Amino acid sequence: MRQLALILFLFTAVFNSAAGETNYFCVVCGKGPLTGHIWLHQRGAVCDDCYKLPDRCSICGLPIRPGDGAIQTDDGRFICKFDKTNAVMDVAEAREVFNDARRDMVELYGPSFALNYPDVTVRLFDVDYWSEAGRPDGLHKFGFANTRKTPGGDCTHEVVLLSGRLRNEIAATAAHEYTHLWINENRPPEHVIDSDTTEAICELSGYKLMEARAQPEQKKKILANPYTHGEILKLVEIEKENGIGYILNWVRNGTTASLETESSALATPVWTRAVVFTNIPPPLPETLTLDGLLLNGVSRRAIIGGVSFAAGDVKPVKLRGRTVEVRCREIHGNEVLIEVEGQSEPVTLEIGDRNFAP
C-alpha cells in the first residue's frame, strides 16, 4: 500500500495580530496570549517561533519542540505527544490490529473472503525503507504482503506493516494487505490483472473497512490517494452497483486485465467455507542472522535477527533460548561486523551465508 509522503500539516490559517493580544496560546510551547504571526493547526494555535522548528510530527505535522514528550522512530520520524498514545509501535499491537481488520473484512465480504491457508505471519518494522526518495510524487509504502506457494500448492502468508502510524491508518493498510493475500490465493495464473486494478481492489477493502468503522477522514484519504491512478474511484462505483461478490468473482473467473461491468454472470457470489485462523508469531531463531540491508540514500541499516541496526547501535536480540546484547560496529557490502555479549572477538555476518550461535 502506498500513500503520499507529503505531510499534511493542516495549518489552516495564518494572521498577524499586531494590533494586540489574542486569546490564543501556543499548543506546542504554551506561550501566550499570542501576538504577531499566529499559525492555526488542527490541534490549536502555533506561535511563529514554534512554526519555524525544523522537525514535524510524521502523523499530524505539528512542530516538535525538544523535550515536549514526542517520540522518535529508528528511521528518524517524530510522533508528537498527542499522537503517540494512539500510534502502533510494537508488533503485538500490530498483529492485534491486523487480526481485527481481517475479522471485520470477512464479516463485511462474507465467508468467501476467508483464506484457505489462514495463518499469517505479521511483522512490524520501524524503518521506512519503502520510501521512494527523490520521486516527485513522494510516495511511501506503508505495508507489504507476500505469499509463497509450494510445488504442492500450499501457501504461506506474511504481512509487514510500518510502525509509528495511527491504529485506524494501520487497520486500513491491514485490510489492503489482507486483500493481496486473498488475491494471491484465488486469482488463477491465467487471469492477468493490471497493477492499478489490483491495488484498487485492495484499496477498496481499506475504504469499506473505514466506512464500516465510521472513519470519514480515512475514506477521503483513500479516495484522494493517487496510487491507483483513479481506479479506486471506479471500483467504489462498481461495488455500489454490483456488490462485492461481483468483484471477488471477477478475480476468480474473469479474463480481462481491468474490471468492467459488462458481464453480469460474475455477479453471483461463490461461497467458500469459513476457516478458523490463528496468527503465528515469527519463530525465534537459534542463531544470529543477517536478514537484510536497508538503504536510504547514503544511510544504511542492517536487520539482524529481525531487529533494525544502524552502525553503532546496541540492542537486545531475542533468540530461541535467550536474549543477547548486540552492537553493530560496521555495515558494508553484504555483511556486518558485530560485537556480541559474552564474546571476546567481533563477528562478521553475511546475508544468507553465515550465522552465529552465541
Q: Is 125 helix (H, G, I), strand (E, B) or coil?
A: strand
Q: What is the pLDDT of residues 238-261, one digit of tens each?
A: 998 888 989 999 999 888 888 865
Choose the weakest-confidence range: 33-37, 48-52, 76-80, 264-268: 264-268
**With DSSP H G I counted as helix, E B as strand and the rest as coil, what are the percentages for the chain, rounded to 5?**
30, 25, 45
Is residue 281 one of the residues assigned to a domain? no
- The answer on 132 and 183 residing in a single domain is yes
Question: Where residue 5 falls among pLDDT bands split at 50, 70, 90?
Answer: very low
Helix axes 244-253 and 167-186, enclosed angle (nearest 10): 40
* Residue 275 in domain: no
Same domain, 165 and 253: yes
Residues 124 and 78 in one domain: no
19 and 157 housed in the same domain: no
CA of 281: how far to CAs of 159, 177, 278, in Å?
11, 17, 10
Residue 352: per-residue pLDDT:
61
Q: Which of 9-18, 56-65, 206-215 has the lowest mean pLDDT?
A: 9-18
Helix axes 195-212, 167-186, angle to 10 degrees: 130
Closest CA to 105 of 194, 187, 181: 181
288-300: per-residue pLDDT in tens? 888 776 655 456 7
With vertex at residue 78, the alpha carbon angle to CA 281 and CA 228, rounded to the nearest 5 degrees, is 70
Q: Establish if 282 belongs to a structural domain.
A: no
To which residue does cell 469459513 refer?
274
Kindly tell me if the per-residue pLDDT of 139 is higher than 60.
Answer: no
Whether the bond into 136 is cis, omega within 30 of 0 = no
Question: Would the pLDDT of 273 be above 80?
Answer: no
Of the candidates 38, 85, 79, 86, the one whose C-alpha atom is nearest the C-alpha of residue 62 is: 79
Q: Which residue has the higher pLDDT, 268 or 13?
A: 13
Among residues 26, 59, 82, the one where a domain terminates is 82
| Nearest alpha-carbon partner for 40 in 11, 82, 80 | 11
280 located within any domain? no
- The DSSP letter of residue 219 is H
- Cell numbers representing residue 272 in the block: 467458500
C-alpha cell recorded at residue 166 = 495511527
The SS3 call for residue 261 is coil
> Using 50, 70 and 90 to split pLDDT, how confident is the model at 74?
confident
Task: Say if CB 295 and CB 287 are below 8 A apart.
Answer: no
pLDDT at 104 over 90: yes
Q: Nine-digit cell at 179?
A: 486483500
CA dist 186 and 190 (Å) reads 12
Domain with 57, as residue range(s), is: 1-82
- Counted domains in the chain: 3
**What confidence score (pLDDT) does residue 101 get?**
94
Domain stops at, among 82, 114, 135? 82
The residue with cell 492555526 is 40
Q: Which residues 6+ apart lie within 8 Å of 148 measured at CB?
A: 155, 156, 158
